[in-house]
Amino acid sequence: MNSCRKILVLGLLLFFGMASGPSLLANPPKIISLNPPQTKNSSNNIKTKNRADREYLITVLPETNPEKVTQVFQGNLEFSRKISKNLFHIKLKIEIGLERMQQYGEQNSSILAVQPNYTYRALGSGNQIGTLKGKELNK
């Protein structure tokens, strides 16, 4: 009698467990891509929507002289700003593309890495990014 009760309880648990909905195996979670969305601009170069135009972050050796970084991009540098002991934020006058920027980095032993400068925005509608003490914060 006791074993019949255990089998009955086990059967009910299995039945209600299966009847409650599909398992995780039937509906695996969606994979969210960490790659930024891409669009093509008029010159057929791949350009991301959340990239700051003509801006790059340059990682250099810690003892690198800031003037050496500006000399690499001479003539095409709008501004250069040192962010930390080995990270520079630069903006070019004319966009030359990430591949060419990385080639400059490979040719210069002081440059460790070149990456685009991405912009990050809070979620919201239009330019409104939130409120602070009842006041709208607009871009």
* Arch. (CATH architecture) of 45-118: 2-Layer Sandwich (3.30)
Listed in sequence order, the residues at least 6 apart from 124 whose beta carbon sits closer than 8 Å to its beta carbon are 130
- Give CA separation, 96 vs 38, 72, 78, in Å: 17, 13, 13
Neighbour tally for 38: CB within 10 Å:
10
Which residue bears the tokens 């599909």?
22
pLDDT at 34: 42
The span from the CA of 139 to the CA of 122, in Å, is: 11
Note the pLDDT of residue 129. Answer: 52
pLDDT of residue 36: 47
Q: What is the pLDDT of residue 7?
A: 79
User: What are 113's two structure tokens?
Assistant: 């890495």
Best CA proximity match to 101, nearest among 56, 39, 47: 56
> Do 69 and 80 meet the contact criterion of CB atoms below 8 Å apart?
yes
Burial call 44-78: b when 16+ CB within 10 Å, e when fewer: eeebeeebeebbbbbbbeeebeeeebeebbeeeee
pLDDT of residue 122: 66
Mean pLDDT across the chain, nearest whole number? Answer: 73
Whether the predicted pLDDT of 135 surpasses 70: no
Question: What are the domain boundaries of the chain?
Answer: 45-118
Using 50, 70 and 90 to split pLDDT, how confident is the model at 22? low
Out of 9-18, 57-66, 104-113, pick the least confident.
Answer: 9-18
Per residue in 53-96, pLDDT (tens digit) is 999 999 999 888 888 888 888 889 999 999 999 999 999 999 99
